[in-house]
């Protein structure tokens, strides 16, 4: 038997090899299952999980690592538990991020996307994608993610693009897509609208400028009175169309119905009354700029005011801004403030800190700005998406959130949702399939590119230049990856088998971006697909997934959020290089539970590498014994491996016990994983392997493995069989958490002739099979406790390492029997020569007390009285020295007045303990025989 494991565990040596093997052997490919009638019920549905597609520009960070470790653990566990399992990977084309990346390259080359033109630019992005796009998935491969690489997708793939186009056209046909002017968050750098969710707010120290607007008299001349407004963005005043006040504001009752002169622009604007205005804020008068503020936009709609957009796409003032046209927004701001001051119209200028929105991608300050965009009328989609999550009258839910609190967050958002702006002014993405007609000015939306306007037949049509929001396509993924919209009688096996998926594991940050959009679009479009029997699809079968698990954040060891500016970002790839993937996965798992952030501490990873090393060494011990046994003709039957090990009632206690521990651990781990308690699962396995198996069982079983001439071969074989079969089962239990180490050792156990291609394709020790022998557990607990106490006593009274001693044991008869039956075990583990059952421990014997027993170690030390007297005398002198030194310092006023209080306290404590030790030493000296 070779079993030639290298001496030291070296994760890098084994992980690359297995990662490559899993991919090459297509081990985790999940072909489309064909259902027979018997297994078409829910239990037989595959476990299906979509990888939240990373951006094609992405690099793996700790958040991905946690997300993927959690998904991989669950997928491996479900697969090993007998379910078909499909984990489906892919990447997102990530409109803004990817376009920015390539634009940056073009800038370095001294050119730009505008110079290239749309077609050449798009081709350039594809080229970039072909070269660099797969990096993050390559990292996943190296980390051993058990995904089906045969099904890998990219959101711009032809078949997924067909789905995107169909969804747009269908929504348009259903009257749910419209084009309109609306205030959007505009990024002047990216020159596109961005979603509310893509705006990050930072505190910004700015100013609040007060501007005095002259009130006009009946003849339209300045009346000499002013109405003062306050603003943080004075340049927007160029687009003001009114000033609003609260109708009941006593200060301004006399101004009702009057008009103002807009300074700098010399435009007459009305004073309007609206209850939305807060009388308490600022001066209680609000300038209204519908084209540059969402609240003002709403005000403008209510009062039928015009909207004057004063900025262009790059946030420069446009022709609507009069003499300020052409100036950058901040240059214009300075000039406007200056001009107002010159004209005596500038009021107070106050320091003001407010939250300013920045583009999440490029950090440019976002400009709320009116523009023409495409929208989805979201209400009917949102209604279904609410029904899919809201508990029904019986408290039943179709989609279950873990942690449960996210259900409320989701519902609250969905109940207050606004129409979704789906257009982006980018070149990279799915171009909106709409054609504008220059003849009749109507729009044609079509599945096939049209050559003429469907309204008037004109050939003078041009395609919309906007692309769709990236989340429009990723929101469709659960339906589109399984073949929608082409679900036909002979092309629906994937859809029927895998939809709805089982679970989504993702971070909170994309709850609204992605989770909510998938639910809306899944319920809407899958809802239109009939069930296999032709009946209408109920909502419960339309949802994209049945459960959502929102994972926590990985923070640094001090619980600080990782950030580039703080410089505390941990690169998972670096940590993996140092400690191995298995140790990093185990670190994350050991701290992952619903709703709890993870404080990632490298010291812990080091600890789990030591754990892996401990298991490695256990395997080496095991193989050494297997090989020695083979020399005398003892082998472990292969049939003993692969299942749930059992122990006969008459087997030795340690065999019954370790089997019971394994069963109990398996039961705990299965329950924990069922409830996303990765931490409980990982810690149970850890305790089993390190505590029960390595620290106790291996020590005991050593005593049974007798390979001598006179050995009882049957007993040795039984012990060896338990050892190997328990270890093999424990590897399977650990496998989802440490897939590489367990794969390596499992193949070694089978001597490279394993019953399956991978441990990942074997059966997980299940809770159902667990039959815990409680009596064995209790008996072993008693013996372990006895051994621990005896070892502690021996240490206390200074028994030499190799000496054996008798013990005195006071214990109830029933428990005493257990000890006597297993006396050999106690004797070997605690170096006991004899166990004396007593009614009372002898007076001169050192003893320990526990609730179950009292134990004493009988040990008479033969000592050299003269040497001991010398030692004690020296010790006494030392203590006296310490005490007198302390006395001298404490009585020195100079010292006392200068020394910090903790130094004085420390000195007093030192003196106190020296006094105690002195007393004890004197007592010992006095008790020495003459
Ligand atoms: Zn930007
Ligand atoms: Zn037309």
Among all ligands shown, which has an atom nearest to the Cα of 198?
Answer: 1
Among all ligands shown, which has an atom nearest to the Cα of 99?
Answer: 1
Under a CB-based contact definition with an 8 Å cutoff, are residues 176 and 375 in contact? no
- Provide, rounded to the nearest whole percent, the portion of the chain with pLDDT above 90: 71
Among all ligands shown, which has an atom nearest to the Cα of 313?
Answer: 1
| 96 CA → ligand 1 middle, Å | 8
pLDDT at 875: 84
Among all ligands shown, which has an atom nearest to the Cα of 97?
Answer: 1
Q: Which helix (H) or strand (E) holds 808?
A: strand 805-811
| 454 CA → ligand 2 middle, Å | 7
| 372 CA → ligand 2 middle, Å | 20
| 469 CA → ligand 2 middle, Å | 27
Task: Name the residue with tokens 């006071």.
Answer: 810
Cα–Cα distance list, 382 to 169, 177, 396, 545, 816 (Å): 19, 14, 19, 16, 69
Mean of the per-residue pLDDT values of the chain:
91
pLDDT at 37: 45
Give the Cα separation of 217 and 43 in Å (integer): 79
Among all ligands shown, which has an atom nearest to the Cα of 314?
Answer: 1
The pTM assigned to this predicted structure is 0.83
| 250 CA → ligand 2 middle, Å | 55
Q: Which residues surround ligand 2, an ion (CB under 5 A)?
A: 437, 439-440, 453, 455-456, 458
Mean pLDDT, consecutive 10-residue stretches, the chain (930 aa), reads 77 94 96 63 77 89 94 97 94 89 91 92 93 88 95 95 97 96 89 83 91 93 93 95 95 94 94 92 91 91 92 94 95 96 93 90 90 93 97 94 95 92 92 96 96 96 95 96 93 93 93 94 97 94 97 90 85 94 96 91 95 96 93 90 91 94 96 96 97 95 87 90 96 98 95 92 87 90 95 85 90 92 92 92 79 87 71 88 92 86 88 87 78
| 775 CA → ligand 2 middle, Å | 86
Give the Cα separation of 822 and 698 in Å (integer): 16
Query: What backbone torsions phi and psi does residue 777 show, to the nearest 5 degrees?
Result: -60, -45
| 439 CA → ligand 2 middle, Å | 5
Among all ligands shown, which has an atom nearest to the Cα of 357?
Answer: 1
pLDDT at 36: 53
Task: Name the residue with tokens 């850890």.
Answer: 686
| 504 CA → ligand 1 middle, Å | 29
Parallel/antiparallel/unpaired status of strands 177-187 and 153-154: unpaired
pLDDT at 802: 85
Enumerate the H helices of 403-482 as residue ranges: 405-415, 470-475, 477-480
| 448 CA → ligand 2 middle, Å | 17
Q: Which helix (H) or strand (E) holds 221?
A: none
Among all ligands shown, which has an atom nearest to the Cα of 364?
Answer: 1
Among all ligands shown, which has an atom nearest to the Cα of 366?
Answer: 1
Residue 910 structure tokens = 């030192």
| 362 CA → ligand 1 middle, Å | 4
| 276 CA → ligand 1 middle, Å | 31
Among all ligands shown, which has an atom nearest to the Cα of 367?
Answer: 1
Among all ligands shown, which has an atom nearest to the Cα of 359?
Answer: 1
Cis-peptide into 500, omega within 30 deg: yes
Q: How many Cβ atoms are within 10 Å of 212's Cβ, its own excluded?
A: 19
Question: What's the length of the chain?
Answer: 930
| 867 CA → ligand 2 middle, Å | 115
Residue 241 structure tokens = 């169309």
| 373 CA → ligand 1 middle, Å | 17
Spell out the residues 6+ positions from residue 84 whose beta carbon is closer than 8 angstroms to its own. Answer: 30, 33, 46, 47
| 97 CA → ligand 1 middle, Å | 9
| 445 CA → ligand 2 middle, Å | 12
Q: Which helix (H) or strand (E) holds 709?
A: none
| 119 CA → ligand 1 middle, Å | 22
Cα–Cα distance list, 623 to 76, 97, 688 (Å): 27, 53, 20
Q: Which helix (H) or strand (E) holds 476?
A: none
Residue 705 structure tokens = 């493995």
Q: How many Cβ atoms are within 10 Å of 122's Cβ, its own excluded?
A: 19
Among all ligands shown, which has an atom nearest to the Cα of 191?
Answer: 1
Under a CB-based contact definition with an 8 Å cutoff, are residues 322 and 267 in contact? no
Q: How many Cβ atoms are within 10 Å of 566's Cβ, its own excluded?
A: 10
pLDDT at 38: 45
pLDDT at 470: 93
Query: What backbone torsions phi and psi does residue 323 show, to the nearest 5 degrees?
Result: -70, -10
| 460 CA → ligand 2 middle, Å | 8
| 456 CA → ligand 2 middle, Å | 4
| 90 CA → ligand 2 middle, Å | 40
Give the Cα separation of 98 and 121 in Å (integer): 12
Give the Cα separation of 882 and 875 in Å (integer): 11
Residue 243 structure tokens = 């000033």
| 841 CA → ligand 2 middle, Å | 107
Alpha carbon 374 to its chain's center: 33
Query: What backbone torsions phi and psi does residue 426 show, to the nearest 5 degrees?
Result: -120, 175
Under a CB-based contact definition with an 8 Å cutoff, are residues 625 and 677 in contact? no
């Amino acid at each position: 038997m070779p079993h030639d494991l290298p001496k030291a565990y070296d994760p890098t040596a084994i992980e690359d090899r297995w990662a490559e093997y899993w991919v090459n052997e297509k081990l985790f490919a999940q072909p489309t299952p064909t259902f027979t009638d018997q297994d078409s019920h829910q239990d037989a549905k595959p476990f299906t999980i979509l990888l939240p597609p990373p951006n094609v520009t992405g690099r793996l960070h700790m958040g991905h690592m946690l997300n993927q470790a959690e998904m991989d653990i669950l997928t491996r566990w479900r697969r090993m538990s007998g379910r078909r399992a499909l984990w489906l990977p892919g990447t997102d084309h990530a409109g803004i991020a990817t376009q920015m990346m390539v634009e940056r390259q073009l800038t370095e080359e001294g050119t730009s996307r505008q110079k290239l033109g749309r077609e050449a630019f798009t081709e350039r992005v594809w080229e970039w994608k072909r070269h660099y796009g797969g990096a993050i998935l390559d990292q996943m491969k190296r980390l051993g993610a058990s995904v089906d690489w045969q099904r890998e997708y990219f959101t711009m793939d032809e078949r997924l693009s067909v789905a995107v186009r169909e969804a747009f056209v269908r929504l348009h046909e259903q009257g749910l897509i419209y084009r309109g002017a609306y205030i959007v968050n505009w990024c002047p750098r990216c020159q596109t609208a961005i979603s509310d969710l893509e705006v990050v707010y930072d505190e910004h120290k700015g100013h609040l400028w007060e501007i005095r607007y002259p009130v006009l008299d009946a003849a339209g001349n300045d009346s000499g009175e002013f109405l003062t407004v306050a603003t943080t963005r004075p340049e927007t005043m160029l687009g003001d169309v009114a000033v609003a006040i609260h109708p009941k504001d006593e200060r301004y009752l006399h101004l009702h119905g009057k008009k103002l002169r807009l300074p700098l622009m010399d435009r007459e604007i009305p004073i309007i009354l609206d209850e939305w205005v807060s009388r308490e804020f600022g001066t209680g008068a609000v300038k209204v700029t519908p084209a540059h503020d969402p609240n003002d936009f709403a005000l403008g709609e209510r009062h039928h005011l015009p909207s004057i957009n004063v900025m262009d796409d790059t946030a420069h003032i446009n022709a609507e801004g009069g003499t300020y046209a052409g100036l950058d927004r901040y240059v214009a701001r300075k000039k406007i403030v200056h001009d107002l001051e010159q004209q005596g119209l500038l009021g107070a200028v106050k320091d003001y800190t407010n939250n300013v929105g920045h583009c999440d991608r490029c950090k440019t300050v976002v400009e709320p700005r009116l523009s023409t965009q495409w929208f989805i009328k979201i209400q009917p989609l949102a209604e279904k998406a609410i029904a899919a999550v809201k508990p029904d009258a019986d408290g039943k839910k179709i989609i279950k959130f873990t942690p449960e609190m996210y259900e409320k967050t989701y519902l609250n958002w969905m109940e207050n949702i606004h129409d979704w702006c789906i257009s982006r002014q980018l070149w990279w993405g799915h171009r909106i399939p709409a054609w504008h007609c220059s003849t009749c000015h109507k729009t044609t939306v079509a599945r096939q590119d049209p050559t003429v306007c469907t309204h008037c037949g004109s050939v003078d049509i041009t395609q919309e230049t906007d692309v769709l929001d990236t989340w429009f396509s990723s929101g469709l993924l659960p339906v589109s990856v399984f073949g929608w919209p082409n679900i036909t009688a002979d092309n629906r096996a994937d859809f029927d088998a895998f939809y709805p998926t089982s679970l989504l594991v993702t971070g909170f940050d994309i709850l609204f971006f992605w989770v909510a959009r998938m639910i809306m679009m899944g319920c809407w479009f899958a809802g239109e697909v009939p069930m296999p029997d032709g009946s209408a699809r109920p909502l419960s079968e339309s949802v994209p997934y049945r459960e959502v698990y929102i994972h926590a954040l990985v923070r640094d060891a001090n619980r600080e959020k990782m950030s580039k500016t703080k410089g505390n970002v941990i690169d998972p790839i670096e940590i993996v290089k140092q400690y191995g993937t298995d140790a990093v996965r185990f670190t994350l798992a050991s701290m992952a539970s619903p709703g709890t952030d993870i404080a990632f501490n490298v010291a812990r990873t080091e600890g789990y590498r030591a754990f892996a090393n401990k298991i490695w060494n256990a395997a080496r011990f095991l193989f050494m014994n297997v090989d020695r046994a083979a020399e005398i003709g003892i082998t472990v039957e292969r049939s003993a491996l692969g299942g749930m090990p059992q122990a006969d009632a008459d087997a030795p206690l340690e065999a019954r016990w370790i089997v019971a521990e394994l069963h109990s651990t398996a039961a705990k781990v299965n329950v924990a994983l069922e409830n996303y308690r990765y931490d409980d699962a990982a810690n149970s396995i850890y305790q089993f392997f390190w505590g029960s198996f390595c620290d106790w069982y291996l020590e005991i079983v050593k005593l049974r493995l007798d390979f001598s001439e006179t050995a009882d071969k049957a007993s040795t074989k039984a012990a060896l069989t338990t050892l190997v079969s328990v270890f093999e089962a424990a590897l399977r239990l650990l496998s989802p958490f440490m897939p590489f180490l367990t794969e390596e050792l499992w193949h070694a156990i089978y001597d490279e002739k394993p019953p399956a291609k991978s441990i990942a394709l074997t059966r997980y020790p299940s809770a159902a099979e667990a039959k815990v022998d409680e009596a064995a557990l209790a008996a072993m607990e008693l013996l372990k406790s006895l051994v621990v106490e005896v070892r502690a006593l021996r240490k206390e009274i200074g028994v030499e390492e190799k000496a054996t001693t008798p013990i005195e044991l006071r214990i109830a008869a029933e428990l005493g029997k257990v000890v006597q039956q297993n006396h050999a075990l106690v004797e070997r583990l605690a170096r006991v020569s004899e166990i004396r059952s007593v009614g009372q421990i002898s007076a001169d014997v050192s003893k320990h007390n526990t609730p179950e027993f009292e134990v004493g170690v009988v040990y008479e030390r033969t000592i050299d009285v003269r040497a001991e007297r010398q030692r004690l005398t020296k010790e006494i002198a030392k203590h006296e020295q310490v005490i007198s030194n302390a006395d001298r310092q404490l009585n020195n006023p100079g010292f006392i007045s200068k020394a910090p209080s903790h130094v004085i306290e420390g000195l007093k404590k030192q003196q106190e303990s020296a006094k105690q030790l002195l007393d004890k030493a004197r007592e010992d000296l006095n008790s020495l025989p003459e």
